[in-house]
Chains A and B, each alone.
Chain A
Amino acid sequence: MATTAVTEQHEPGAMVPAPFRVAEREQDTVDTWTLTLEPLEGPGPSIGPGQFMMVYAFGVGEVPISVSGPPGRPGPVVLTVRSVGAVTAAICASEPGRTLGLRGPFGTAWPIEAAGGDDVLIIAGGIGLAPLRPVVLHVLDQRAGYGSAAVLYGARTPGDLLYTDLHADWRRTVDVEVTVDTAGPDWPGRVGVVTKLLPGARFRPEQTTAFVCGPEIMMRFAARALLDRGLAPERILLSMERHMDCGIGLCGHCQLGPTLICRDGPVYPYSTLAPWLEVREL
């Protein structure tokens, strides 16, 4: 599977964050914000879809965050961040004008170019839509290069749905189906697990690539549902997450079996992951 190319030349360790200024800050849900960051030095990195940056809030700490902006060209870095601890809370609280430190991009990318000509399923759970948004943007940009394309998206409640103002735009050229786990009477849409959206999607199983991102258990169930629908395990891509301290393959924390997620992932084909996902507490 095509992933970020590993160069022969060894790059000296990148443990020093580069300064980026918060240009925009938008609240998406009660606990999620999207920040647009402008580089203070240079044109900004070119980021593959699904890659992540190590994001540093001065004096607080650093966490890995997947990039959710348009892939492949240098420019502002878009991060959708969920506030779950001290560091992410500090990042989410960063008003325009404040500086954050970024290292990266690191990790392997969604092989969206290798999927050219395929039908595409983008299956997201919760915050998992953020690392998948670059895939959506790429497909929208290169629509003729793909067959049918559908975004299947599930979240906890209607208030937790991301990028709802963009869904109408997306719907012009790709299918977007949304469901929530539970809702009140004002919600006119679907209530149910995200895998329930599969039967209604049009795709040729033998010619489909599926990009799946969300909590690990949701990805496990989604992968199984896709296998039941006839997709080959190599055509199902997942984005894995583990604790990261360095992001550059030196601290050892992000090990998943024989791989390091910062280096060999976070994007993996299900065919590779399946035996590891079966072992509890691996």
Chain B
Amino acid sequence: MRAEGLTIEPKQSVISPGALDDLIGALRERGYRVLGPTVRDGAIVYDELGGATELPIGWTDSQDGGHYRLERRGDDARFGFAVGPQSWKRFLFPPRLRLWRARLGGADAPAVEEEPVDEQPLAFIGVRACELHAIEIQDQVFLGGRYTDRDYAARREDVFLVAVDCFEPGGTCFCTSMGTGPKVGSGSDLTLTELFDGEHRFLVRAGSDRGAEVLAGLSGRPAGPTDVEEAEQSVATAADRMGRTMEAFDLRDLLERNLEHPRWDDVAKRCLTCGNCTMVCPTCFCSAVEDETDLSGEEAERWRVWDTCFSVDYSHIHGGSIRPSGRSRYRQWMTHKLGTWHDQFGSSGCVGCGRCITWCPVGIDITEEVAAIRATDGAGADATVA
């Protein structure tokens, strides 16, 4: 079950950094495939964790528009960084997924065999508040409509979520503007807050019965007032250190009335339509269907692959593409993410994680684009449409 509310008293404990190893072990024993942050290729990525030593101990990230570097910290913090280029969507909504195989057999109708769903439950270690919100947003996309995504539903069903409060927001973070962090709310099985005063330790609170059960099996001590107070202070400080801000009020209407704003021409001169932003964004969900066949033509497969609205082909219908210009494609992405997502799914599509800013090769900053449009709200509206 997804993390449900508690039926027992919420209890906060304090565990040592070493106990994280026990946590990972306990989850593996229960059959989970444990995924979490680790350093690879100069970035902090999400991958399978064999143990807690694989966490990015003592690493932090320096992020800005089009800039990402790992740097050494002066301590052994386990989660002393913001977010890396990947999000948890790569496990819940894999970049390439076979949907079914079919074999053409003579005069008979082709036999279609649906791909079995991956049965092994997943555990995510180190889920940020913004990422929890992103998962909930994708829940709405894939599970909230009339037709649900079979594969997402299966993967999502049993995911064990170990969240962490942020104390080291990044240069491009703006979760406070989007109301998605830095403090973890509800929706996780366990939440960790990393504390340093006097003793390097973790305050742990359970967010579900099964979280409480796992917590009960770890050695630790009950949390005291100083632990709780330090945790609150840590999160409050983090909330003040956001790298960016975005005035998110009324964004849906703002963007709807500014579809011809000259700022779109401006950003079009910079945007390479590379689609990096859509790859790193934790809520982007567009996919394409690829129908393939082998050389004999006897066997066919259907695959679902990640797609990006920045490609010209994305909007192709017979005769051409609806959005041939880069201008229209950037506009589509941003107005969808911040505006029409509300109409389609009942919330913003943006959680303020800043990845799109960091990983844009030319450093386009969505918070800056919004500010520019707000500053001259209504500009370009008089332009006569031919």
CB contacts (< 8 Å) of A282 on chain B: these are 259, 322, 328, 332
The number of chain B residues touching the other chain, given as a range, is 35 or more
Query: Given contacts A243-B315, A252-B285, A253-B314, are A12 and B150 in contact (CB under 8 A)?
Result: yes
Of A14, A242, A255, the contact of B317 (CB 8 Å cutoff): A242
* Complex contact B385–A278 (CB within 8 A): yes
How far, in whole Å, are A6 and B146 apart by their CA atoms in the complex? 7
The reply to whether B141 and A19 contact each other, CB–CB distance below 8 Å, is: no
Verify B146–A99 contact, CB threshold 8 A: no
Indicate whether A249 reaches chain B with its CB closer than 8 angstroms. yes
Q: For the complex formed, measure the closest distance between the CB of B359 and the CB atoms of chain A, giving whole angstroms.
A: 20
Q: A245-B289, A258-B344 given as contacts; is B328 within 8 A of A250 (CB)?
A: no
A10 with B287: CB separation less than 8 A = no
Does A241 lie at the interface of the complex (its beta carbon under 8 Å from any beta carbon of B)? yes
The stretch among B50-58, B98-106, B226-234 that forms the contact with chain A is B98-106
**Interface-located stretch among B20-28, B29-37, B109-117:** B109-117
CA A99 to CA B106, docked complex, whole Å: 11
Alpha-carbon gap, A11 to B385, bound state (A): 42
Binds B, one of A42-50, A58-66, A142-150, A224-232: A58-66
Chain B residue nearest to A62 (CB atoms) is: B291
What is the bound-complex CA distance between A263 and B148, given in angstroms? 13
Given A257-B340, A278-B385, A281-B323: A243 touches B314 (CB 8 Å cut-off): yes
Q: Does B302 contact A (CB under 8 A)?
A: yes
Total cross-chain contacts (CB, 8 A):
135
Cβ–Cβ < 8 Å partners of B300 in chain A: 58-59
* Residues of the B chain whose Cβ atoms lie less than 8 Å from the Cβ of A258: 256, 339-340, 342-344
CB pair A279–B260 under 8 Å, yes or no, is: yes
Q: Which residue of B292, B293, B297, B322 is within 8 Å of A242 (Cβ)? A: B322
Asked if A136 is an interface residue, CB under 8 A from chain B, the answer is no
Interface size class of A (residues with CB under 8 A): 35 or more
A243: B residues at CB distance < 8 A:
314-317, 322
Residues in A with CB closer than 8 Å to B332 are 255, 282
Question: With A and B bound together, what is the CA distance between A165 and B169 in angstroms?
Answer: 70
Q: A10-B143, A12-B148, A15-B100 are in contact. Are A251 and B286 (CB under 8 A)?
A: yes
Cα distance, A56 to B385, chains bound together (Å): 39
| B136 at the A interface (CB under 8 A) | no
Q: Does B363 contact A (CB under 8 A)?
A: no
A242 to B317, CA, bound (A): 6
Query: Are B147 and A10 neighbours in the complex by a CB distance under 8 Å?
Result: yes
B297 pairs with A281, CB closer than 8 A:
no
Q: Is A11 a contact partner of B148 (Cβ separation < 8 A)?
A: yes
In the complex, the answer to whether A250 meets B325 with C-beta atoms within 8 Å is no
Q: Is B309 an interface residue (CB 8 A)?
A: yes
Residue A40, interface by CB 8 Å:
yes
Chain A residues positioned under 8 Å from B256 (CB to CB): 258
User: In the complex, A62→B112 CA distance in Å?
Assistant: 15
Q: Mark A199-234, 1 if CB is under 8 A from B, else 0.
A: 000000000000000000000000000000000000
- Within the assembled complex, what's the spacing in Å between the Cα atoms of A7 and B146? 7
Contact present for A250 and B146 (CB under 8 Å): no
Other CB < 8 Å A-B pairs besides A40-B109, A97-B107, A258-B340, 18 of them?
Answer: A10-B145, A16-B100, A16-B114, A21-B109, A56-B291, A62-B291, A84-B319, A101-B110, A243-B322, A248-B147, A251-B288, A253-B286, A253-B288, A253-B307, A253-B315, A255-B332, A258-B342, A281-B324
Instruction: Name the 7 nearest CB pairs between A and B, nearest first.
Output: A258-B343, A59-B293, A281-B328, A252-B286, A248-B147, A19-B109, A84-B318
17 contacts between A and B (CB under 8 A): A10-B143, A11-B146, A11-B147, A13-B147, A15-B99, A15-B150, A15-B304, A59-B293, A62-B289, A101-B112, A243-B322, A245-B288, A246-B287, A251-B286, A252-B285, A255-B336, A263-B145
Which A residues fall within an 8 A CB radius of B? Answer: 6-7, 10-17, 19, 21, 40, 56, 58-62, 84-85, 97, 99, 101, 241-243, 245-246, 248-253, 255, 257-260, 263, 278-282
Hey, which bits of chain B sit against chain A, CB under 8 A?
A: 99-100, 102, 104, 107, 109-110, 112, 114, 141-143, 145-150, 153, 256, 259-260, 285-289, 291-293, 297, 300, 302, 304, 307, 309, 314-319, 322-325, 327-328, 332, 336, 339-340, 342-344, 385
